[in-house]
Chains A and B, each alone.
Chain A
Amino acid sequence: MDAATATATPARAFIGVSEVWVPEGDRLVHAAGDYGAHTAFEEASVRTSFGKGEGLPGKAWAEGRPVVLKGFDGSYFQRTEAAKEAGLTSAVALPVFDGETLKAVLVVLCGDDETTTGAIEVWAERDGLLMLDDGYYGAAKHFEWVSKHTHFPKGQGLPGGVWAAQTPMLMRDLGSGYRFIRSESAGAAGLTTGLGLPIPVPGDQNYVATLLSARGTPIARRFEIWDAREARVGRDGGAVLVDGLCEREGALWNEENPKRAQDWQGPIGKVLGTGLPLVIGGAQIAAGYSSMVALPIHRDGEIAHIVAWYL
């Protein structure tokens, strides 16, 4: 990994805003967010709450599935004016369910322009195959078209691999080496790193979300996958870093001596302790990054994995 080159090149962010909504009574209230320079949108957001079915977070809660929304005008999106002023035009809501119980909704918002490339996708199982439910692609229009006409059997490609293993996966060099038609297009779009994660929801439906990052306008500069299953870490709890990639520190995995996090210690420990997604900015973030999103994945009554991305 050429850290010097990577950090020296200023890049636009693909995601403009990340925020966490948590249930309080019968409403979803604002819990955390990273709004960057979009202070007006932040002010509008922290005052807001959503009932079940209301707005984007409420829709993800009510429908029990991840939701992609492109274009806010005339939609159920409730902060349209503030978003428009901030230049945010699309959003993805990822619900965090622990069995039947909603723990939180993570919402990421992106600005629609012709310069940012990346993809946030939601794949859903239909007739034994994973089909694209919807996705936000920025300027990667050809890749979007290809993705809409692609499906993945179980075990194949990043979405199919995540679906089969029921575990997050981090793929390298998306554009090279793969012979999927989608990969050729990914390479052309400059997409390099792909994080795939299962999105458990009530019922039997399978959803997989993918975050595909391009070098020029990265979704993140650092990705981490933590394994927190008792079957892996034992009864003492905590989590181990099973995979990760960082533009500044290179490979983060260590087969012989993986990094550990303990409950309530550090940002990952906080996610372990609360079971909720975390969005933070500031000095406590690893490797000198300015913002971090950590998303827990609950399965079988425990936090199974945590994925984190940093910018």
Chain B
Amino acid sequence: MQKLVVIGAGMASGRMLEHLFEAAPGAWDVTLFNAEPRGNYNRIMLSPVLSGEKSYAEIVTHDEAWYDTHGVTCRFGEKVVGIDRDRKVVIGEQGEVAYDKLVIATGSNPFIIPLPGHDLDGVIAYRDLDDTNRMIEAARPGARAVVIGGGLLGLEAAAGLRLRGMDVTVVHIMGHLMERQLDEAAGYLLRRALTDRGIEVCCSANSKEILGEDGKLRALKLDDGTELPCDLLVMAVGIRPSVALAKEAGLETGRGIQVDAQMHTSDPDILSLGECVEFDGQIFGLVAPLYDQAKVAAQTLTGEASEYIPREVSTKLKVTGCDLFSAGDFAEGEGREDIVFRDPARGVYKRLVLEGDRVIGAVMYGDVADGNWFYGLIKDGTDISEMRETLIFGPAFQGGASVDPMAAVAALPADAEICGCNGVCKGQIVAAIEAGATSLEAIKATTKASASCGTCSGLVEQVLAVTLGDDFVLPTAKPICACTDHPHEDVRRLIKAKELKSQPAVMQELGWKTSNGCHVCRPALNYYLLADWPLEYTDDPQSRFVNERNHANIQKDGTYSVMPRMWGGMTTPEELLAIAEAAKKYDATVKVTGGQRIDLLGIKKEDLPHIWADLNAAGMVSGHAYTKGLRTVKTCVGTDWCRFGTQDSTGLGIKLEKRLWGSWTPHKFKMAVTGCPRNCAEATCKDLGVVCVDSGFEISVGGAAGMELKETEPLAKVATEQEVIDISVAFLQLYRESANYLDRPYKWIAKTGGLEWIIAQVVDDLDNRAALIERFDISQSVYQKDPWAERATPQYERAWSPLADLTKEAAE
């Protein structure tokens, strides 16, 4: 009998021994070392052991009897201290063993982030049964656990600890969970499922330090200063191949122990397999490739020709009730095409990534029945051109069902608010329909839903259609873009009604047809979300047009214009000197604008952070000349200088501008305050204009002086400046909350059926006016910040510098 020594009794070597004993029973005298004091168990089932849904006994793959039957000499709990390749012996703590062939299957070590405090009592990795038992021992109801790492293992640990009664927070450095296996949309659904289990999830969170007290863990500190108190901290941030032993023995190693396709190391008598190896630059962490390697290694040992060929792997998460599947490559890329299916009511998301006529990636959440079929298509490179149209529906489907555009409305609970103006919920509308109100007009009459601003009428019609079926003919509405069947109005209302607070949430719950939206819908969604949830939603620069992203207007020659804010059109000699110096320094063209400001044209992109810093230093901030937001408040000189001035129009303009600047709006928003009816500041063609008169102030709205020319309509006449400011703020906030993205106020007013409803909201109803102002101020607490000051930093300078001077290279 030949002598085989195996170092490591994990799943890979265990499977290899099974193949070996089956192919060549009695041919090998096997000695098996394992540092753990036990034999082979199904390590990937440790998570259910942690949660209590499996016992350790159930996950033992090879028990004592199995090893006895196959004559394996077990040296469990004994570490191997060296390999003497010249003498062909393995040196264990208890003595040497000679080998004819040696298999190294030392697996991997968990990666410990070297944060300050990582060695505190209570900080553990998650790798083996001992780690699992330590977690079980530490888990007490009411105690707090933090899991660093939102990958497979981290999430399984979090779910297990939660079941054990702990308050669990997952800290993940990336923007969404399991980013290596899931796209953002599936990551959103997974996060929702975990949150439903009471697990707190912090994404884009960077751990900075582990805090302790008397040598014991106290909290995890994030780089934003947040402290997460915890009694247990689990690090599940990845693994590193365990190569030390092989390296000391002089075997070739890279990231792992280097092996060929027959699993030979650089020594032909030594094989290696599992998580410790590196093959063709790849290392391995999932079980499927390990089992493939096990088969090849066994065949190599028996002298059978065999070759290890890496294949695509699929992923499943072992958290009861979370059904997800991921396989292949699902990154976006040129020449790739997505097929997306969403069912908001069932929480289902499926996405296939196609390249030509081949499926190269599949991600699915909530419905994984066809996962293995898609996995087969990916592995086999099947030509799917014949079934492209119905592919997403799986192997059993050939009928070509379409996504139900009304699924989102059908899934709304009865208490979801459909009409925000009148506080009417879906249940009330359904009750009215069932009582005989079978048209939009009847619903308006009986419930008042859509009887005010009318922006929810599309939704009310959908409720009618869902409730009445074929008895109601749904009018067609123009959707935002090809990604969705919903028009802007419905999306705005549903974001509020369903409390959707992220783009993935909107796309999933409203059944978007694409995985990630497009250049049309993303800016709209970004605006709606930041307007409705200023404290919860984080502005996404990637969902903005280039000028807003760069905080400057790009010009036809690729340079930018820079325009500092001049409050109410007023400036000072010091500001003008600073502007002049900046213009000279950056070789700018200087233009006085119609909005009573000075525009510096021809600024190179890489100079932007510098000129912003220079203008900031002179006390000036961005004029937001590039935004869908407040542009200028144009004023005349008013009572301070003008013989005809009736009020301090300049002072009022400055007050208004200082209150409103920085807020994002559906489209650009221009204002003016003029000191008398002579209207020198042209207030009657602005989005909101104030005309000062002897008795007070006349506020009018909805003007335009661009492609369309339109005079403003009177909104209110008031006596005091404070009323002007309050009504202006309330009007702007109402516009922010209810207008469609890219609708100027005059278009929005027309869609609401005229000013009557708006006057009621911001002029007549004082409580509502106050509520609008309060919501505006909450938003301003987040968004009234000078973007120049935030970006005039070395970090931005680097980011905005050109990678290379291509003009010179071209010249050479």
Checking A156, A165, A177, A255 against B321 with a beta-carbon cut-off of 8 angstroms, the contacting residue is A165
Q: Is A164 an interface residue (CB 8 A)?
A: yes
B53 engages A156 (CB within 8 Å): no
**337-374 of chain B: CB within 8 A of chain A:** 346, 348, 366-370
Are A156 and B162 in contact, CB atoms less than 8 angstroms apart?
yes
- Known A164-B197, A166-B321; judge A1-B57 contact (CB<8 A): yes
Cβ distance A204 to chain B, nearest Cβ, rounded Å? 8
A167 within 8 A of B: yes
A300 near B346: Cβ-Cβ < 8 Å = yes
Q: Are B397 and A235 in contact (CB under 8 A)?
A: yes
A172 nearest CB neighbor, chain B only: B55
Given contacts A156-B165, A243-B53, contact A169 B320 (CB under 8 A): yes
A256 to chain B, nearest CB (A): 9
Residues of A within 8 A of B42 (CB): 255
- With A172-B55, A234-B396 as contacts: A178 and B367 at CB distance below 8 Å: no
Distance between Cα atoms of A180 and B53 in the complex (Å): 16
Cβ-closest chain A residue relative to B365: A231
Known interface pairs A154-B198, A167-B320, A230-B369; A179-B164 also in contact (CB < 8 Å): yes
Determine if A273 is an interface residue (Cβ-Cβ < 8 Å): no
In contact, B369 and A164 (Cβ under 8 angstroms): no
Q: Return chain B residues, CB-CB under 8 Å to A165.
A: 197, 320-322
Contact of A231 among B55, B141, B369 (CB under 8 A): B369
Judge if B140 is at the interface, Cβ distance under 8 Å: yes
Is A155 a contact partner of B162 (Cβ separation < 8 A)? yes
Task: Give min CB distance, B453 to chain A, whole Å.
Answer: 31
CA of A161 to CA of B57, assembled, Å: 22
Please name all residues of chain A whose beta carbon is closer than 8 Å to the beta carbon of B165 when the two chains form the complex: 156-157, 178-180
Q: Is B199 at the interface (CB under 8 A from chain A)?
A: yes
**Would A177 and B163 count as touching, CB distance under 8 A?**
no
Interface residues of A in 232-268 (CB under 8 A from B): 232-236, 243, 245, 250-251, 253, 255
The answer to whether B52 touches A173 (Cβ under 8 A) is yes
Interface residues of B in 741-791 (CB under 8 A from A): none
CB of A188 within 8 A of chain B?
no
- Chain B residues with CB under 8 Å of A160's CB are 163, 198
Select which of A156, A170, A173, A255 is within 8 A of B163 by beta carbon: A156
Q: Which residues of A contact B53 (CB under 8 A)?
A: 169-172, 243
When distances are taken between beta carbons in the complex, the residues of chain A under 8 Å from B366 are 231
Contacts of A245 in B (CB 8 A): 58
The answer to whether A164 and B370 touch across the interface, beta carbons within 8 angstroms, is: no
Judge whether B45 is part of the interface by a CB distance below 8 angstroms: yes
Question: In the complex, which residues of chain A have a beta carbon less than 8 angstroms from the beta carbon of B346?
Answer: 231, 300
A167: B residues at CB distance < 8 A: 320-321
Q: Does A153 contact B (CB under 8 A)?
A: yes
Write out the residue numbers on chain A whose beta carbons fall within 8 Å of the beta carbon of B322.
165
CB neighbors of B among A92-146 (8 A): none
Residues of B55-99 at the interface with A, using a CB-CB cut-off of 8 Å, are: 55, 57-58
Question: Across the interface, do B198 and A231 meet the contact criterion of CB distance under 8 Å?
Answer: no
Asked if B252 lies at the interface with its beta carbon under 8 angstroms from chain A, I say no
Which size class do A's interface residues fall under?
35 or more
Indicate the member of A164, A169, A180 with the most B CB atoms within 10 Å. Answer: A164
Q: Is B394 in contact with chain A by the CB < 8 A criterion?
A: yes
Whether the Cβ atoms of B163 and A161 lie closer than 8 Å is: yes
A173 touches B55 (CB 8 A): yes
B16 at the interface (CB under 8 A from A): no
Known: A155-B162, A178-B165, A232-B323. A172 touches B368 (CB 8 A): no
Contact partner of B198 among A155, A166, A181, A253, CB < 8 A?
A155
Any A CB within 8 A of the CB of B54: yes
Q: Find the residue from B54, B199, B368 having the highest chain A CB count within 10 A.
A: B54
Query: Number of residue pairs across A and B with beta carbons under 8 Å?
Result: 98
Interface of A is mostly: loop
CA of A198 to CA of B54 in the docked complex: distance in angstroms?
A: 20
Cα-based distance from A154 to B162 in the complex (angstroms): 9
CA distance A243 to B140 in the complex (A): 26
A172:B369 contact, CB within 8 angstroms? no
A155 and B369 contacting across the interface, CB-CB below 8 Å? no
The answer to the question of B136 belonging to the interface, with a C-beta cut-off of 8 Å to chain A, is yes
B378 within 8 A of A: no
Of the residues A177, A180, A231, contact of B136 by C-beta under 8 Å: A177
Contact, CB under 8 Å: B368 / A157: no
Measured CB to CB, the nearest residue on chain B to A173 is B55
**Is B809 located at the chain interface by the 8 A CB criterion?**
no
Chain A residue at minimum C-beta to C-beta distance from B60: A251
In the complex, per-residue mask of B140-178: 1 if CB is within 8 Å of any chain A CB, else 0: 110000000000000000010011110000000000000
Please, which residues of chain B bring their CB within 8 A of the CB of A235? 369, 394, 396-397
Which of B42, B53, B136, B163 gathers most chain A CB within 10 Å?
A: B163
A244 to chain B, nearest CB (A): 10
Task: Please tell me if the beta carbons of A250 and B198 are within 8 angstroms of each other in the complex.
Answer: no
Q: Which of B52, B369, B370 has the most CB of A within 10 A?
A: B52
> How far is A5 from B165 in the complex, measured between Cα atoms in Å?
33
Q: A255–B287 Cα gap in the complex (Å)? A: 12
Chain B residues with Cβ below 8 Å from A1 are 57
Q: Are A233 and B369 in contact (CB under 8 A)?
A: yes
With an 8 A cutoff between CB atoms, is B470 at the interface? no
Which of chain B's residues have a CB closer than 8 A to the CB of A177? 52, 136
B196 within 8 Å of A by Cβ? yes
| Contact yes or no, A154 B197, CB < 8 A | yes
Q: How far is the CB of A13 from chain B (nearest CB, A)?
A: 23
Distance, CA A255 to CA B53, complexed state (A): 14
The answer for the CA separation of A172 and B55 in the assembled complex, in Å, is 6
Q: Which residues of A contact B219 (CB under 8 A)?
A: none
Q: Which listed residue, A153, A155, A164, A250, touches B58 by the CB 8 Å rule? A: A250
Report yes or no: A164 in contact with B396, Cβ–Cβ below 8 A: no
* B residues in contact with A233, CB < 8 Å: 369
A154 nearest in chain B by CB position: B198
* B5 contacts chain A at the CB level, 8 A cutoff: no
B139 interface residue per 8 A CB criterion: yes
What are the residues of chain A within 8 A of B197 when measuring CB–CB? 154-155, 161, 164-165
Q: Contact: B164 with A231, CB < 8 Å?
A: no
User: B11 → chain A, closest Cβ, in Å?
Assistant: 12
B397/A231 in contact, CB under 8 A:
no
How far apart sit A251 and B61, CA to CA, in the bound complex (Å)?
Answer: 12
Within 8 A of A (CB), among B685-705: none
Q: A157-B163, A231-B369 are in contact. Are A164 and B321 (CB under 8 A)?
A: yes
List chain A residues, Cβ under 8 A from B368: 231-232
Given A164, A171, A179, A243, which contacts B141 in the complex, CB threshold below 8 Å? A179
Alpha-carbon separation in the docked complex, A153 to B198 (Å): 8
Which residues on the A side are within 8 Å of B52 (C-beta)? 171-174, 177-178
Interface string of A294-306 (1 = CB under 8 A from B): 0000001000000
List chain B residues, Cβ under 8 A from A178.
52, 164-165
Contact between chains at B323 and A231 (CB < 8 Å) = yes
Q: How far is B164's CA from A169's CA once the two chains are assembled, in angstroms? A: 14
With the chains together, A235 CA to B322 CA distance in Å? 20
Bound Cα distance from A250 to B165, whole angstroms = 27
Enumerate chain A residues within 8 angstroms of B394, measured Cβ to Cβ. Answer: 234-235
Complex Cα distance, B322 from A105, in Å, reads 29
Q: How far is the CB of A304 from chain B (nearest CB, A)?
A: 11
Q: Which residues of A contact B139 (CB under 8 A)?
A: 179
Nearest CB to that of A2 among chain B residues? B57
A282 CB to closest chain B CB (Å) equals 29
- Residues in B neighbouring A300, C-beta threshold 8 A: 346
Interface string of B384-399 (1 = CB under 8 A from A): 0000000000111100
A positions within 8 Å CB-CB of B:
1, 153-157, 160-161, 164-167, 169-174, 177-181, 230-236, 243, 245, 250-251, 253, 255, 300
> What are 5 A-B contacts defined by CB distance under 8 Å?
A165-B197, A173-B52, A178-B52, A231-B366, A255-B42
Q: A1-B57, A157-B141, A180-B165 are in contact. List 16 more A-B contacts (CB 8 A).
A: A154-B198, A155-B162, A167-B320, A169-B320, A173-B52, A173-B55, A178-B165, A179-B165, A180-B141, A181-B141, A230-B369, A231-B367, A234-B394, A253-B54, A255-B42, A255-B44
The 6 closest A-B pairs by CB, nearest first: A165-B321, A155-B197, A234-B369, A235-B396, A231-B367, A155-B198
